[in-house]
Structure 1
Amino acid sequence: MKALKLIAVCTAVGLPIISHSAFADDGFRFSGYARYGAAFQDKDEKKVSTAGALNGNATGRLGNESNGGEFGLSKGYTSDLGDQWDIVVLFDHYSDEPWATSGTGGLKVKKAYASVTNFIDSQPELKVWAGRDFHQRPQTGLNDYFWMTHDGQGAGFYNLNLGGVKLDFGAVGQVDGDLVGDNGKYAVTSKVHGINLFDDASLAFYANYGFTSKKAQDQSYYGTRAYQLAADISMSGHHLLFRYADNAKDSVFELAKDQRAWLASFDGATNISEQAAIEYLAAYQFLDVAGVEDRANYNVIVRPTYNWDSINSTWLEAGYSVVDYKDINAKNSSWKLTLSQNIVIGSPMAARPMLRFYTTVGKADNEYVGFDTKTGNMQSTQLDTLTVGAMFEAWW
């Protein structure tokens, strides 16, 4: 192993095991994701959502998002023996109502880790890391839904080659708010991927387990166990996924007693012509909880796109979401239409940066948003949306 060779050589001649002179400077990198702009609200709500929705931004994300960004810095090094190191830090700025845990706002440290690859001759793709990282957060795009997420502090590895199939594994603790320690919730995560089914089709399996440490002994969730199992089939740009969670939903950090969730989702994109394409998503999720809020969320989103040339494009996104409560005979629903005129660096749908000028119209008809504490009657809302906005979106 290259790392062991380096240790042996340094020890033999009395040198420190890590020496800056042993590394070539691979440079400094700036990466991230951001979207910022202004939106003028002319009705009840700026954005469209269904009360009790389970499937992320279930009525569609285009023209239906808040501002925010993630800004990362990294420094890479390669030793004379070929092992490659990265030191990474990332800050995020999502202090809007849907995400903020307090009213203070500001930047938050979401990544601070070091990793190494190409340090074992037989495993050149194996990446070992330790620190704080975005961890295991697969996503469906049109509804901006992280159907698993285990961001935290710990250690793990990616791409351990097991005869052609690869294994990712990690053990992380959930960060305690904006502090530097954990809150006593822990997750062991795993993913087996690179399973080829046939031409342009592959399969990945996920298995995660959540539990607590003694630090959480005074909390109501202490001693609770949670797990998730999922399968994700990728087929030429289309994804079909299934996920089951016990005492959890999107994360085993939830440790929610007597809760189970079943998710099935299909999404993808198809080219209609050289200039036109359509993206689509359909999902179903059922949540079984203690009490009367067992419910299913059905949602469908379609986004036709047309590229006028290599810079200008027009998108139209239509979304519909239904939340059907099992025990209280109530249904919530919402619909949304967003027309977006875009200036983009390239014509493909995924090209960024993009300037976006859009109008969103929609309506949420919520038969159930809770019970009146005085009368016990079921409460409902009907909310209209008309929003005109401009924003940029970029990843780099």
Structure 2
Amino acid sequence: MKKASLAVAIIASLSATQVLAVDFHGYVRAGLGASADGGGTKAGDEFNKTTLGRLGNEYDTYSEIGLGQELFNKDGRSMYFESMFEMSSDGNLETESSKKDSANFAIKQLNIQAKGYIPASPEAVIWAGKRFYQRHDIHIIDTKYWNVSGYGVGVENIKLDTGALSTAIIRADNALSTWDSSGNETSYGDLNTYFLDMRYSGFAPWEGSWTEFGIDYALVNPTDEQEALTEDLKNGLMLTAEISQSFSMGWNKFVLQYMDKGLAQNAISQGGGWYDIWSGDVSEAKGYRFISTGDLNITDNFIINHVLTYGQAKDHGDWLDKEDLFSFVARPTYNWSAYNKTIFEVGYFDQEKTWDSGSSDKSSGTKFTIAHAISAGDSIMARPEIRFFASYFKDNENDNTFDNGKSADTISYGVQVEAWW
């Protein structure tokens, strides 16, 4: 009777309380796959996903679950709470736990966003906490080419006569260690690095165009104990300029980036702004990257999404002269109806690392994927989507990449679900 009375009291209390809507958003992918060589596929079996394309080349289970709520709104001012938690695993066990298996849980975002507190720019947002900060990504290669995220504080969307300005300070630390000749590691804690980020967006030089420009400056802030280990880790600069254009058959974006010091390696790693503290002397490093991406609507039912990347980095590590990367991925999609589509994806990459001695290391690969999908619409980005796929991979430089070191190529197949909301 006491338990029943308590249950009635709780229900009555909830009924009397105003229930506020909680924003629920996120991303998820999961599925199953197998290799024609035998065995199942799992996280880690992907082959150069960021240069050959992700379709039929993802075998992990990954999710980001976000919950948000407006906590205050009065007199034209508001406070919004945003959170996001990651749950991921290798995607190969019926029961996956964080205690003994591959399941991982992480805090991805946790911040407050305040709006209406700057009278001269009421649409501006003051934010603080942990955040995905204005990330720029290319979906078909799962690459975020401009991504300075982490713990920070900033003011964004400050309206100007034309366009808007955003500024932020974001912390991105990395573990600093050394290894002796026997492979023993000595840890020196996390190396503190701050990013000063400034962006301007919204200028349209002509009809159908839009632009964005940004400056990121990485400040390395070692402790006294770390000072001697970080003499070659100088403050780094990354400049980004992009222009997009819509036209009758779709749209295209061109991106040009310059990086130096510890940021130079982003040009050839498909990175978005992380600082390299592991490659040795990067004090003279310089890099640049060119990206072209967009959609081409051949007919009402036939669309091609594509991305081309060329990057080069020089002196971005000990005994390293330069490194070049070329990557091209295209994803043609034919819509049989608003909810059924056949998808192809072809990818090719070539990467060459040249050492000060004159010797070089080359890597190159090719991928072909065919898939049929049922989805929530005919857009190439319509989700949720369930896709049935088969992929062919070839390592153009090595003949022992697949089938336990016995083959230069392989085939995998499976089913995957992907959704965002």
> Structure 1 length as normaliser, TM-score?
0.81
Question: Could you give the per-residue CA deviations for residues 373-393 of structure 1, whole angstroms, max 9, x where no partner exists?
Answer: xxxxxxx99642311111110
Residue 38 of structure 1 corresponds to which residue in structure 2?
Answer: 32
Q: Does 1:221 align with 2:249?
A: no
Cα displacement (A) at 1:35: 0.5
Note if contact 1:40-1:389 (Cα within 8 Å) is conserved in structure 2.
yes
Deviation for aligned residue 1:103: 7.6
Deviations 1:167-206, CA, capped at 9 Å, x for gaps: 11110112567xxx97411111111111111111111111
Secondary structure in 2 matching 1:346: coil
Change in CA separation of 1:367 and 1:294 when aligned onto 2, cut-off 3 Å: farther
CA distance in 2, matches of 1:267, 1:346: 22
Distance 1:267 1:280 in 2: 5
Q: Tell me what 2:242 maps to.
A: 232
For residue 63 of structure 1, give the secondary structure of its aligned residue in structure 2. coil
Distance in 1 of aligned mates of 2:131 and 2:237: 21
Map 1:94-133 onto structure 2 (within 5 A). Answer: 94-96=88-90, 105-133=103-131
Structure 1 residues 191-244: Cα deviation after superposition (integer angstroms, max 9, x where no partner): 111111111111111100111224475163366211100101111131100011
| Greater RCO (CA < 8 Å, at least 6 residues apart) | 1
Let me know the Cα RMSD of the aligned residues: 2.9
Corresponding position of 2:338: 310
2:65 counterpart of 1:71: yes
Q: Which amino acid aligns with 1:387?
A: S
CA distance in 1, matches of 2:410, 2:113: 46
- SS of 2:140's partner is coil
Contact 1:25 1:78 survives alignment (8 Å): no
1:1-396 matches, within 5 Å, as: 27-43=21-37, 47=45, 49-50=47-48, 57-65=50-58, 66-96=60-90, 105-174=103-172, 183-215=191-223, 217-218=225-226, 220-221=229-230, 224-236=234-246, 237-247=251-261, 248=263, 249=266, 250=271, 251-254=273-276, 257=282, 258-288=284-314, 289-290=316-317, 291-292=319-320, 294-326=322-354, 327-366=358-397, 383-396=408-421
State the distance in 1 between where 2:349 and 2:235 align. Answer: 31
What is the alpha-carbon distance in structure 1 between the residues aligned to residue 224 and residue 147 of structure 2? 20
Rounded to whole Å, the distance in 2 between the matches of 1:294 and 1:30 is 45
> Partner letter of residue 204 of structure 1?
E
Task: Give how far 1:67 is off.
Answer: 2.7
TM-aligned CA distance change 1:351 to 1:175, over 3 Å = same
Q: Matched residues in 2 for 1:382 and 1:299: separation?
A: 23
Identical-residue share of aligned pairs (%): 24
In structure 2, relative to structure 1, the CA distance for the partners of 1:82 and 1:90 (3 Å cut) is: same
Q: Mind listing any 5+ residue stretches in structure 2 that lack a counterpart?
A: 1-17, 92-97, 176-188
Distance 1:154 1:146 in 2: 19
Q: Distance in 2 between matches of 1:216 and 1:70?
A: 38
User: 1:42 deviation in Å?
Assistant: 2.6
1:341-381 Cα distance to aligned partner (Å, 9 max, x none):
10101111111010111111111133699xxxxxxxxxx99
Q: CA deviation at 1:94?
A: 3.8
Aligned residues: 352
Gaps (5+ residues) in structure 1? 1-23, 51-55, 370-379
1:301 deviates by 1.0
* Pair 1:172–1:182, CA change in 2 (3 A): farther
Separation in 2, partners of 1:358, 1:368: 24
- State the alpha-carbon separation in 1 of the partners of residues 222 and 304 from structure 2: 50
What SS does structure 1 have at the residue aligned with 2:34? strand
Which moves more between the two structures, 205-214 or 192-201? 205-214
Determine the structure 2 residue equivalent to 1:12. Answer: none
Q: 1:175 to 1:333 in 2, by over 3 A?
A: same
User: Residues 96 and 170 from structure 1, CA distance in 2 versus in 1: closer, same or farther, beyond 3 angstroms?
Assistant: farther
- Deviations, residues 122-160 of structure 1 (Å, cap 9, x unaligned): 323211100011124211222221112222111002111
Measured at CA, do residues 191 and 82 of structure 1 come closer, stay the same or move farther in structure 2, by a change above 3 Å? same
CA contact (8 A) 2:124 2:159 kept: yes
Q: Which amino acid aligns with 1:87?
A: F
2:15 matched residue in structure 1 = none
Contact between 1:70 and 1:92, CA under 8 Å: does it hold in 2?
A: yes
AA matched with 2:254: L
- 1:41-96 Cα shifts (integer Å, max 9, x gaps): 2349955635xxxxx71011111123311111111134231212211111112455
